[in-house]
Amino acid sequence: MAIIKNGILGGFSGKAGTVVGYTMNGKNCMRGLPERVAKYTEGEIKNTNKFKLVQDTLSMILPFIKNGFKNYYTPTGGMRGALSYNRKFAVAGEGPDFYIEPEKFMVTGGDLPGVEDAQFILESPKLLRVHWDAATPAGANAYDQAMLLAIDFKGQQAVYVNIGAFRSAGTEVVTLRDKLVGQSVHVYLGFVAKDRSRQSSSQYLGVLDQW
């Protein structure tokens, strides 16, 4: 972080982007950051590859993640929270062949109760329907709303319902894109509170595989 001296028209000290501010012989100076000479370690390369894998995946569903991870896992939640959580818990394999474990991947997070008996069916080649027990558990509200995601990790395609049907409805649908038809599509269900104060942790419902 750089510190501005003598107001906005003065010099600065510290790093700001790709430059460093400093004072020499009473004059305010800047220089570019030096290029890294040392090679990246194996651990650094692995962390970079994990980060890119998760970031690329979450970027497809950014509006969904902003709601699903609101104020969860990190102080700011949202994309940062989802990225931090999934990089730590949902990535498997050995570099450079990392992959996301669908069962551990989380797209909504929080302490709002989820639902029982959630399952999905394909009503037509493009219409995916999810059913769940519409009962309202303690700590939940009948007007909490569903968040539904269908995602193909390999093809990097996804569709979702950001703020959908009420918990009491017991069902929600999403229409699949052409590029998802015939692919391995993983299905997730979460809920956001009626007052938008919290979310449930997403439930992995399984994979719709090569139908």
Output the pLDDT for position 27.
Answer: 72
Which of the residue ranges 14-18, 120-124, 150-154 would you say has the lowest mean pLDDT? 14-18
Rounded Cα gap, residues 8 and 116, in angstroms: 57
Give which of 103, 118, 83 is closest to 190, Cα–Cα: 118
Please determine, for residue 139, whether its predicted confidence score (pLDDT) is greater than 80: yes
**Is the pLDDT assigned to residue 17 strictly greater than 70?**
no
| Domain extents in the chain | 3-32, 42-208
pTM of this prediction?
Answer: 0.81
pLDDT tens digits for 73-85?
999 999 999 999 9
Residue 35 binned pLDDT confidence (cut-offs 50, 70, 90): low
* Topology at the third CATH level for domain 42-208: Immunoglobulin-like (2.60.40)
Q: What is the largest CA-CA distance in the chain?
A: 75
Across the range 2-19, mean pLDDT stands at 59
Q: Among residues 120, 113, 184, which one has the least CA distance to residue 152?
A: 184
**How much is the CA Rg of the chain, to the nearest whole Å?**
22
CA-to-CA distance for 8 and 15, rounded, in angstroms?
16
* pLDDT above 80 for 4: no
Q: What is the mean pLDDT of residues 173-196?
A: 96
**Half-sphere exposure for 142 (CA within 13 Å, toward CB):** 4
Can you name the residues that pair with 174 across neighbouring β-strands?
A: 128
What confidence score (pLDDT) does residue 116 get? 98
CA angle 97, 99, 103 (to 5 degrees): 155
User: Using CB atoms within 10 A of its CB, is residue 169 exposed (0-12), middle (13-18) or buried (19+)?
Assistant: middle
